[in-house]
A and B are shown apart, each in its own frame.
Chain A
Amino acid sequence: MHFSTFNGLPAFSYSIKSQGFEGPLESYSGYKGIYQVAWLFNNKNYLMIAWNETPEINQVIPTFRLSDVSHISQTTNWLTYSNSKYGFNLKYPQGWYVSGEPENTLYLTNYDITKASSGELNNEEYSQSFKIDIFVMRRMKKI
Chain B
Amino acid sequence: MNVLDWLEQTKKKVSPLEDQLKQFMRLKKIDVYGYPGVFYERVTQLGGALEGITTFQTPGNLLIHFNGNLNYQEHWADYQQILSTFEFVR
Contacts and interface: CB of A to CB of B under 8 A. Distances in A.
A68 B90 CA distance: 34
Interface string A79-102: 000100011111111000000000
Q: In the complex, which range does the number of interface residues on chain B fall in? A: 20 to 34
Interface stretch (A8-16, A25-33, A125-133): A125-133
Interface string B62-79: 111111111110110111
A88 B86 contact: yes
Nearest to A134: B66
A contact residues, range? 20 to 34
B28 to A, nearest CB: 15
Interface in A123-143: 127-140, 143
A125 to B, nearest CB: 11
A67 to B, nearest CB: 10
